[in-house]
Structure 1
Amino acid sequence: MKTLPAFCLLLLSVSAPAWAQQTPPCPTLPTNAELQWEQRGDHSYIACKAVTADGRQVLNVMLTSRDPKISLERGLRAEEGNFSGREMYWYRPDLGGRNMPGMESRRITVVKLGKDQYAQVWINAESPAELATLRSLAQQLDVSAASATLLSAGR
Structure 2
Amino acid sequence: MKHFWLLSLLFLAPQAFARSVEVCPTLPSGTGLEWTYSEGPDFDVCRASATGSEDQAFGIYLGNHPSFHPERAERIGKGKVAGRRVTWYRQDPGDSNSAFSRQTLLTLDRKWGYVAHIWVTADTEQQLLDRLSVLERIAFKMP
Q: Give the TM-score taking structure 1 as reference length.
A: 0.73
Unaligned runs of 5+ in 1: 149-155
Shift of 1:14: 2.3
Shift of 1:68: 3.7
Shift of 1:43: 5.3
**1:80 aligned to 74, 78, 81, which one?**
78
Counterpart of 2:24 in 1: which secondary structure? coil
**1:106 aligned to 70, 76, 101, which one?**
101
The answer (yes or no) to whether the contact 2:58–2:118 under 8 Å persists in 1 is: yes
The reply to whether residue 131 of structure 1 matches residue 128 of structure 2 is yes
Q: Which residue of 1 aligns with 2:64?
A: 65
RMSD, matched Cα: 2.7
Pair 6,67 (structure 1): closer, same or farther in 2 beyond 3 Å: closer
Cα deviation digits, residues 79-129 of structure 1 (max 9, x gap): 311223432111222439xxx9x6221111112222211111110112111
Pick the structure with greater CA Rg: 1
The answer (yes or no) to whether the contact 2:43–2:63 under 8 Å persists in 1 is: yes
Q: Distance in 1 between matches of 2:80 and 2:70?
A: 19
Aligned pair count? Answer: 137
The answer (yes or no) to whether the contact 1:57–1:124 under 8 Å persists in 2 is: yes
Q: Distance in 2 between matches of 1:138 and 1:69?
A: 18
Q: Distance in 2 between matches of 1:43 and 1:86?
A: 28
Q: Distance in 1 between matches of 2:33 and 2:137?
A: 14
Q: Distance in 1 between matches of 2:122 and 2:139?
A: 21
Between Structure 1 and Structure 2, which shows a larger proportion of helix residues? 1
Identity of aligned pairs, percent?
23
The answer (yes or no) to whether the contact 1:50–1:60 under 8 Å persists in 2 is: yes
Shift of 1:56: 0.5
Shift of 1:54: 2.3
**1:10 aligned to 6, 9, 25, which one?**
6
Q: Distance in 1 between matches of 2:76 and 2:68?
A: 19
Shift of 1:72: 4.7
Q: Distance in 2 between matches of 1:54 and 1:18?
A: 31
Pair 39,50 (structure 1): closer, same or farther in 2 beyond 3 Å: same
